[in-house]
Amino acid sequence: MSLTELQTPTTTEVRVGRLEDVPPGEGRAFTAGDTQVAVFRLRDGSLHATQASCPHAGGPLADGQTDARVLVCPLHLFGFRWSDGASTSGAGPLRVYAVRESDGDLLVTL
């Protein structure tokens, strides 16, 4: 095993809830073990997931507004790109997670 393989962090896919728990166009917060995640279901059917708490000052990101590119925190309106979690307005980056639906379950890779 190479040094690169040893340093690669392990990831785990975790069931956090059901697709119907998240109305189209909205986000919801879920608990996955010790991790709080916010899952968004866009009106086009796509899913996005991130940490539930904003890196700026802890705002509830599941209550934020989003489109396919940017999530806006409801507390101070900082924006974050879904593509890489980077802030569009000067805050620290978000952690973004892969998320998919399987048989109605929401599966987030932590």
Binding site for ligand FES (CB under 6 A): 54, 56-59, 73, 75-76, 78, 91
Residues 6+ apart with CB under 8 A from 49: 37, 38, 39, 40, 96, 97, 98, 99, 108
Give Cα 68 distance to the centre of its chain. 13
Rounded to 5 degrees, what angle do the CA atoms 70, 72, 74 make?
165
Judged by beta carbon, residue 40 or residue 78, the one nearer ligand FES is: 78
Judged by beta carbon, residue 64 or residue 106, the one nearer ligand FES is: 64
CB of 8 to ligand FES, least distance (A): 30
Judged by beta carbon, residue 73 or residue 106, the one nearer ligand FES is: 73
Q: Are residues 80 and 86 in contact, defined by beta-carbon separation less than 8 angstroms?
A: yes
CB of 33 to ligand FES, least distance (A): 24
Judged by beta carbon, residue 27 or residue 59, the one nearer ligand FES is: 59
Q: Are residues 16 and 30 in contact, defined by beta-carbon separation less than 8 angstroms?
A: yes
CB of 57 to ligand FES, least distance (A): 4
